[in-house]
Chains A and B, each alone.
Chain A
């Protein structure tokens, strides 16, 4: 018998033991987790909220309105006055 056949024979004889009842319990736990709604997973929930936030912007009535800083015109009101009818960006560019 050659070395290869010996190796295959050894491989066939190798039988590793397993704790099938413990494995079954783990499968049962994972089964219940897998059947949960996708939205109940925190990362998916966060991703959905972030996507909604991004897609909401084109539909905002006043696009100069910042949720964080409030109205841009009220923040830079003094510049707006000095520049007459020009908006802030035009005033800065010297137009």
Chain B
């Protein structure tokens, strides 16, 4: 594959991918790692792209699958580290600091989080989300419903989110 093709794809889609990544994972290191991972996968898959679908649809599919796999992998690593810390084989590391806006999202599992971001933030139709994620539309709907319930509960809980976002409280008072 000629590098100029990859350069072109990178130039055209970097902001789209960054938007998804920056909401999906919560620390700068994770965002940068995942961003690089996605583009490395795109680089590997680009010679196989036949042009049957739009570039953005194809790219979304790679980005979404890569993101879900990344979060699952990170989860496994964290669980292993917790076990090793419990056995005092390694020193306890300080908990990762995450952006305030991401706190409620962190309560969702990888699939629910992706469905919520695609449906509510990116405003994609459910059929397209199902196609991108390779799951039935019914699963998308149930994941979205569950994700909404969790987020609603989180933003209500002890008014903690209002402490994080005073402007939201102001808006609510006006509403």
Contact = CB atoms under 8 A, between A and B. Distances in A.
A17 to B, nearest CB: 9
B155 A4 contact: yes
Contact of B43 (A6, A8, A18, A31): A31
A24 to B, nearest CB: 6
Contacts of A18: 14, 18, 22, 31-32, 35
B171 A1 contact: yes
Given A1-B175, A31-B43, A7 B104 contact: yes
Interface in A6-38: 6-8, 10-12, 14-16, 18, 20, 23-24, 26-27, 30-31, 34
B39 interface: yes
Nearest to B28: A16
A3 interface: yes
Contacts of A27: 10, 36, 39-40, 43
B61 interface: no
Given A26-B36, A27-B40, A16 B171 contact: no
B156 A34 contact: no
A interface SS class: helix
Contacts of A14: 22-23, 99, 101
Interface string B103-136: 0110000000000000011000000000000000
Contacts of A11: 23, 101, 105, 120-121
Contacts of B105: 11
Contacts of B156: 3
Interface of B: 10, 14-15, 18-19, 22-23, 31-32, 35-36, 39-40, 43-44, 99, 101, 104-105, 120-121, 148, 151-152, 155-156, 161-162, 165, 168, 171-172, 175
